[in-house]
């Protein structure tokens, strides 16, 4: 194992931050897998799971069982991790710009298209190499102007040429669920079995250039942009990327993190990047559903929230999700499910103002359009 410390651009006199990556195996040999945790810095289940995964990988490394390259970044957002306001963690948005740490990663398809146009042939492996080389060149000439951009550049530079990218997050209160782009699903599906995900949300460009889509998106985007110029199938989906939501912010325990690390390790064995017999795949705990079919349950009125439904609970149309109580007017608003599906996440606060989100239900039928991710 090799540890690398990457310096972020200094935003202010006397202030320096570092992002650390742990490298196993050998670059350029076999598959490359990239795993990061806590890009939203207050989402800590993945950080603890990464801690346990690092121990498993160290043991495998000692036995010579790493058959490709594996990079783990257990603390993907040192900027957000240090932000506090009114005694609370502020790890989702950069305080100076209000930018979400998991948005605005580079659009590598647009960046490399002029460089690869006219140079791609019929061989997908050759094309993958050429596209990755062009992306590497683009990233190398990227001159970040801010600390936040420099963090995005470091993470992009570590992950852009990986075959599989796992971005470990969590929701407020939630069951395990995954977000992935539809072309990635065949590669990601065994992970959903091993983690016993209760919802899998599929989309193609959900908007905002989140990290996972910035890694998987270039491949299907280039295939689409060049469909009239290269033979069908000549541009492979060379990166499968997924946002893994490891339950809720409070679900940070050794038991959960060890079992998640074991599932991730089993997935690496399944991919063949760690030697050894992979664990048998348990039956899936859910079907994949379109992100465009998930209902965001909103509160049209302000009040104190009393939830009736638990994370992971299957709801039918009309089932009560929560009551919102106004003790001044003595009114009770019933927020109900408008789709059949699993309540995969809900908020953790218990007072809402009008228009705030209460939770999300994974319905099967697409009905939403436009930007599918919240703030
Ligand atoms: Zn997150």
What is the per-residue pLDDT for 369? 84
Mean pLDDT to the nearest integer, 51-68:
98
Going from the Cα of 39 to the center of ligand 1, the distance in angstroms, rounded, reads 7
| pLDDT(97) > 90 | yes
Strands (E), 164-250: 164-171, 173-174, 177-181, 199-203, 240-248
User: Across the chain, which distance is largest between two alpha carbons, in Å?
Assistant: 70
Distances (CA, A) of 307 to 141, 172, 304, 320, 340: 50, 14, 10, 8, 18
Distance CA 188, CA 196 (A): 12
Going from the Cα of 45 to the center of ligand 1, the distance in angstroms, rounded, reads 11
Going from the Cα of 244 to the center of ligand 1, the distance in angstroms, rounded, reads 9
Going from the Cα of 242 to the center of ligand 1, the distance in angstroms, rounded, reads 12
Helix (H) or strand (E) holding 2: strand 2-7
What is the per-residue pLDDT for 187? 98
What is the per-residue pLDDT for 305? 98
**Could you tell me where in the chain the CATH 3.40.630.10 domains are found?**
2-286
| pLDDT(250) > 90 | yes
Going from the Cα of 286 to the center of ligand 1, the distance in angstroms, rounded, reads 21
Mean pLDDT to the nearest integer, 261-280:
97
Going from the Cα of 174 to the center of ligand 1, the distance in angstroms, rounded, reads 12
| pLDDT(368) > 90 | no
Going from the Cα of 30 to the center of ligand 1, the distance in angstroms, rounded, reads 30
Going from the Cα of 234 to the center of ligand 1, the distance in angstroms, rounded, reads 34
- Give the CATH fold of the 2-286 domain: Aminopeptidase (3.40.630)
Distance CA 126, CA 328 (A): 68
3-state secondary structure of 167: strand
Question: Exposed (0-12), middle (13-18) or buried (19+): which is 196, by Cβ within 10 Å?
Answer: middle
Going from the Cα of 327 to the center of ligand 1, the distance in angstroms, rounded, reads 33
CATH of domain 290-362: 2.40.50.100
The structure tokens listed for 249 are 């912010």
Going from the Cα of 301 to the center of ligand 1, the distance in angstroms, rounded, reads 26
Which residues are in the CB-under-5-Å shell of ion ligand 1?
A: 40, 43, 169
| pLDDT(119) > 90 | yes
Residue 32 confidence class, pLDDT cut points 50, 70, 90: very high
Averaged confidence pLDDT in the chain: 97
What is the per-residue pLDDT for 370? 82
Mean pLDDT to the nearest integer, 256-285:
97
Distance CA 186, CA 161 (A): 19
Going from the Cα of 305 to the center of ligand 1, the distance in angstroms, rounded, reads 23
Tell me the chain's radius of gyration from C-alpha atoms: 21
Distance CA 265, CA 255 (A): 15
Distance CA 72, CA 48 (A): 12
Distance CA 151, CA 6 (A): 9
Distance CA 130, CA 256 (A): 41
Going from the Cα of 101 to the center of ligand 1, the distance in angstroms, rounded, reads 9
Going from the Cα of 347 to the center of ligand 1, the distance in angstroms, rounded, reads 13
Going from the Cα of 267 to the center of ligand 1, the distance in angstroms, rounded, reads 21
**Could you tell me where in the chain the CATH 2.40.50.100 domains are found?**
290-362
Distance CA 57, CA 311 (A): 31
Q: Provide the percentage of residues in the chain whose pLDDT is more than 70.
A: 100
Q: Provide the percentage of residues in the chain whose pLDDT is more than 90.
A: 97
């Amino acid at each position: 194992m090799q540890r690398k410390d990457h310096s972020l651009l200094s935003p202010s006199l006397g202030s320096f931050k570092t992002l650390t990556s742990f490298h196993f195996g050998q670059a350029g040999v076999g598959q490359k897998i990239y795993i990061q945790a806590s890009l939203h810095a207050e989402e800590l289940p993945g950080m603890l799971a990464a801690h346990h995964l690092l121990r498993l990988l160290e043991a495998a490394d000692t036995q010579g069982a790493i058959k490709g390259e594996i990079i783990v970044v257990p603390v993907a957002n040192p900027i957000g991790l240090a932000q506090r306001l009114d005694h609370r963690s502020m790890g989702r948005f950069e305080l100076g710009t209000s930018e979400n740490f998991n948005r605005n990663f580079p659009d590598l398809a647009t960046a490399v298209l002029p460089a690869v146009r006219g140079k791609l042939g019929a061989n997908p492996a050759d094309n993958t190499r050429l596209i990755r080389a062009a992306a590497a060149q683009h990233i190398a000439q990227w001159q970040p102007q801010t600390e936040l951009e420099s963090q995005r550049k470091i993470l992009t530079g570590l992950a852009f040429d990986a075959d599989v990218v796992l971005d470990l997050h969590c929701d407020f209160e939630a069951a395990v669920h995954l977000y992935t782009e539809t072309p990635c699903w065949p590669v990601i599906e065994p992970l959903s079995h091993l983690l016993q995900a209760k919802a899998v949300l599929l989309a193609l460009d959900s908007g905002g250039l989140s990290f996972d889509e910035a890694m998987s998106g270039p491949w299907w985007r280039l295939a689409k942009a060049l469909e009239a110029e290269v033979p069908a199938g000549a541009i492979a989906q060379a990166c499968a990327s997924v946002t893994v939501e490891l339950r809720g912010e409070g679900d940070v325990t050794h038991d959960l993190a060890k079992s998640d690390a074991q599932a991730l390790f089993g997935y690496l064995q399944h991919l063949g990047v760690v030697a050894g017999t992979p664990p048998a795949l348990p039956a899936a705990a859910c079907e994949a559903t379109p992100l465009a079919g998930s209902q965001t349950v909103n509160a049209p009125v302000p009040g104190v929230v009393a939830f009736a439904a638990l994370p992971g609970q299957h709801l039918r149309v009309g089932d009560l999700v929560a009551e919102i109580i106004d003790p001044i007017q003595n009114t009770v608003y019933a927020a109900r499910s408008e789709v059949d599906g699993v309540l995969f996440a809900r908020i953790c606060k218990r007072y809402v103002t009008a228009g705030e989100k209460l939770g999300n239900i994974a319905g099967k039928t697409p009905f939403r359009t436009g930007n599918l991710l919240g703030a």
